[in-house]
Structures are given as structure tokens and as C-alpha cells.
Amino acid sequence: MEFPWGLPANAAIQGLLCSLMFLILHALLTARDVRSFALWLADQFAAKQPDACDGRLATALAETRKANWLMFSRCASFFTAGGMSYWIHTFYVHSHPTLPEGIVFVAVSCMYMLFLGTATRAVDLTAERVRACCSFFYCGMMVCFLAVPFAQGLHLDINVMLVQLTSCRFILSAVATDTKLSAPWQVLLTAGQLWADFLAPSGLNHPGFCVFLQLVSLGLTIVLSWMLETGVRATLCAQFLHSDAESLMSSFRRMLRGVCDGEVLLDSNLRVHSVSDCLKHLLMTSTNLHGKPFTQVFDPADLKRFKDFVTEGSPEDPPSAGSVPSSLRVSLVGAVSTRVPVELYHVSISKLYGSHDPYHLIAWKEDAESREQPVQVPQEVACPSTTLRQLTRQAAAHEASPPCGALAEIFSQVADVSLLVDTATAHYSTPQVNLRFPGRFYSPQTHVPHLRSMVLPTEWPTIQHELARYAQDQQETYAIQPRPLPALRCRTGHASSRYRVAQKVEISAHRSTKVWIRLGNFSERSASQERRVDSQRIVRKPRCE
């Protein structure tokens, strides 16, 4: 072949020029990739700051390598046993092995003993012993690479054996997942195989191409080892970060549940990540809020403040597990456009579920007295106990003039009243009062008092479930015993930060779907008290997730 523009006619020079032109064209097309690879390679050898999870990562990698070697040795023991049985048969049937074939047989036998010892747990595996086993296997492969090209092919096929040994190089790179260990051995194996190929009796027809292919195999084995090790490290780091984030989130949830009415987890886009029954109870809606923007339940006047409040929380420096997160008072929009004033607490959780963007744990405490009601209800009807306390205070201040107006208002709204009267006192005090309201007691101005308004929102799902189950058991069972329940937190009718805890809660049978619930042994609590004792008390099972 001769070039028309007068280049040398020597075929070797022409071929060299064509090869160089192709390489130059490839470099021009991939210049960006070459530059990125060079920068990445320089970054790998640059000094790096120690990571917080390096200690745990080293331990986890050691356990992974032990598990890899154990599984590999179990499989390889069967494979080497099959190969050795074939060679033993051919040695007896045909002829004695030559020296190179005998060396290969001895090397494979030694590796079989290594696999058998670790597969049967005769040798306790440690991180150092796994590295020693990998090095021993590399030594056995080196012996085979040096001996196979000189075999005469009486008992083994040389080409097939070389392919098998090359595949073992890749397999061991994956098993070891240790680039610092594999890279030097892979270089030695490449040099040994090239030396054996050049000195073999059969020789090489294309020595340059043979060197190129060996270098390709060397690069691929090292890259494979690095990729697997990097992937395992990244997976373990993601698991550690996720575990740390879960632990942080759980600690804040335990603390906030003692002082708040509920919480919800938001993703980085402020969408509801998980279904929250607490949120649905707060907004008095049955709509499934999973995956919907949390910002849609805000009063438009408070939306910008909430976004600024969430943005201020730094995921790099979250509050410690013993401190109370920052708070913000806003109004949410519930059913029939009801404004629900709440105090929000925010904790930013980074690396949760392996995400690069932070998640947001939002907890709230409802300001029940400031909630707008669709129907205005007189306080003495909604909570008769508050009215009775007011009557008691008025009676103490004006003993001679009883609060007849308030009593008359109560009597006009109930079906009957049972009073326990103590005749030993001067004014015949009534320590116990039972009120019964009419069955049909609905009007634009009044409604029957209900348990939902008397307990905290976080207590409602549990007590609702227990009462419904007891009512069902009551209808199915002729005689049912009273059933005790855990302590119940109730509203006080005062500031939303204070409430009363009924230590004694018992439900008993009545008839049909009606049941009795008895509350006793009350103690008054506040949010500040819950914060102080939260780290010392045993947290009950969560009311709602």
C-alpha cells in the first residue's frame, strides 16, 4: 500500500503512522474523559481527612472479607477436588506426569488443603489470616503460571489451563476486595506469565500484542478490585450514616413524644414521607396525606415563616439528643377551614435512607384553647368538670349565696343529676356528681360532651381503639370483667402546656355500645416537667406513627 501524498512506502512505517493517527484521533475525541481521569487519579493519591466512621468501616470490611473467603473456599474445595480426581485417574491410566505437570498438581493440592481447612472451620478466620490465605493463593497461581507453558499437554490442555488461571485472577480480586493487597500480586502474576510465555518452547507469534493483552488483563483486574472495594465501602458508609440518622431521629422522637401531641417526617421537598395518624387527628380529616406537600396545611400568612424556620436548621450541626429543638408558633388549616394554632419543633436529619438532602422531623404541640371551632360551644357544656370547679370556687368565696344561675344552666341541659351529699358538712358538700345527658342533644348552640375533647391528641387513637374493642367484646360476651388500661393524659382546660395524668384507668361494661370508663389518681403535669424526666422515664409504646 502506498500513500498518494508521498509518505514512505515502507509497510512497517505506514502501519505505525496509521496507528498513531488513530490514537491521536481517539485522544481528541476523549480529551475531556482523559482530563477527568487524570484529576480523579490525582485525587485518589491526595491526603484526605480521617472520616468519623473509619474505625467501624475497617471492622465491617474485615467481616465482609472473611465472609467472602469462607464462601469462596467452600465452592473452590469442590472444584479443586474434581480437578485432582481427574488428574489422579489420568496419571494411573496413561503415564507418569512430567515435571511441569507434577508442579501444577502439587500447587493445586496445596490450595485444596487450604480451601478444605477454611471451609470446614478447622482454621479460625481472622482479618490477618484471610490476607495470608489470599497471598498463599496468589503464590499458587504464580507457580501454575510459570509451569503450565512448559507442560507437554499429556495430562492437561495448556490453553484451557491458562484461561482458567486468568479467570482465577479476576475471581480472587473480587473475593479479596482489597486493592492494596491485590495490585502488587497482579503485577507479579503479569510479569511471571510474560516471562513464561517468552521462554516457552512453543514461543509467541505476536509478542507485542501478547504484552498488550497482559497489560489489559492487569488493568482490568486492578480496576475490578478497586470498583468492588469502593462499592462495598460506599454501601457500608451509607448503612452507618442511615443507622446514625435513625438513632438520632428515634432519640428526638422519644423526647418530643413526652411534650408534644404528634410528629411527622418530611422528605427534602417538604412532602409527607409516611402516613401520620396524629396529623389527621389534628386536622380532623380522613384524607391520606402521604406524599403530599406539608405546606398545603399552613395558613398562607405563616407559610413563609415556616419555610425560613426549616431552612435555618443546619443538618451539619443538629441539636444534641439532650436539648430541645427550636420551635415556631404557626396556624394550620384543618377541616372546614378551621385554624389550628400549634407550636412546631423542627429537627433536620441528614443522610437518612441514604439521601444526600436532609429529611425533616416536625413535631407539634396544639394550643387547644386557641383553636377556632366551626360551632361556638359554651365552655360549661363542653366540659362540665370545669363548670363544677368554677362553682366550687364561687361557693368558697360566697358561701351565703350559692351559684344558682350556673346550677340552673346545668340542670336545663342534662337529663338527670345524681349528687353524693355529705351531711356532716355545714353546707352539705357534694364530693361526687353524676350527670346524664339526653340521647338526642344536638342544636346549633349545644352538643353532648365527648371524650375526644377531654384527652390529648396523642392519647386519642389508643383509648379509641381500646374502648371500641371492649364494646365489641361486651356485645359478644355475656359477662365481661372490667379491664384496666395504662395511664391517660387529659386536658385541664387551662394553658395547653399543662395537663392531668390519670394513673388509674378502668373500663367496665354497660350495655349495647356504651361502656363505662373510670379515671382516678390524677396528677398534674406540665411540658417542662416532661422534658426534665424524659431521659429517665420508660417511654410507653408510641401512640401513633
CATH architecture of the domain formed by 258-370: 2-Layer Sandwich (3.30)
Residue 86 has pLDDT above 70, yes or no: yes
Count of H helices and E strands in the chain? 15, 10
Do the bridges between strand 262-266 and strand 359-366 make them parallel or antiparallel, or are there none, so unpaired?
Answer: antiparallel
- With cell 486493592, the residue in question is 179
Tell which residue, 249, 233, 231, 236, has the closest CA to residue 350.
249
- Could you tell me the pLDDT band of residue 52, with boundaries at 50, 70 and 90? low
180 or 442: which carries more pLDDT confidence?
180
Distance between CA atoms of 118 and 134, rounded to whole angstroms? 12
Question: Is pLDDT above 70 for 503?
Answer: yes
**Which residues 6+ apart lie within 8 Å of 162 measured at CB?**
148, 149
pLDDT of 51 > 80? The answer is: no
Show the CA angle centred on residue 528, arms to residues 524 and 531, nearest 5°. 110
Q: What is the pLDDT of residue 69?
A: 92
Rounded to an integer, the average pLDDT of 259-284 is 78
Residue 538 has pLDDT above 90, yes or no: no
Task: Tell me the pTM.
Answer: 0.51
Contact 324, 295 (CB under 8 A): no
Of the pLDDT bands very low, low, confident and very high (cuts 50, 70, 90), residue 399 is: very low
Report whether pLDDT(119) > 80: yes
- pLDDT of 378 reads 41
Instruction: Annotate 335-346 with b (16+ C-beta within 10 A) or e (fewer).
Output: eeebebbbbbbb
Rounded to an integer, the average pLDDT of 347-353 is: 76
pLDDT at 398 over 50: no
Distance separating alpha carbons of residues 140 and 190, to the nearest angstrom:
14
User: DSSP letter at 5?
Assistant: T
Please give the single-letter amino acid code of residue 464. Q
**Would you list the DSSP string of 60-86?**
HHHHHHHHHHHHHHHHHHHHHHHHHHH
Question: What are the extents of the domains in the chain?
Answer: 51-238, 258-370, 392-436, 451-533
Place of cell 488428574: 87
In this structure, what C-alpha cell is assigned to residue 430? 357534694
pLDDT in tens, 69-78: 999 999 999 9
Of 12-21, 69-78, 127-136, 368-377, which gets the smallest average pLDDT?
368-377
CB 164 within 8 A of CB 131: no
Name the grid cell of 247. 438513632
- 123 pLDDT above the threshold of 80: yes
Whether the Cβ atoms of residue 173 and residue 182 lie closer than 8 Å to each other:
yes
Tell me if 338 sits within 8 A of 284, measured CB to CB.
yes
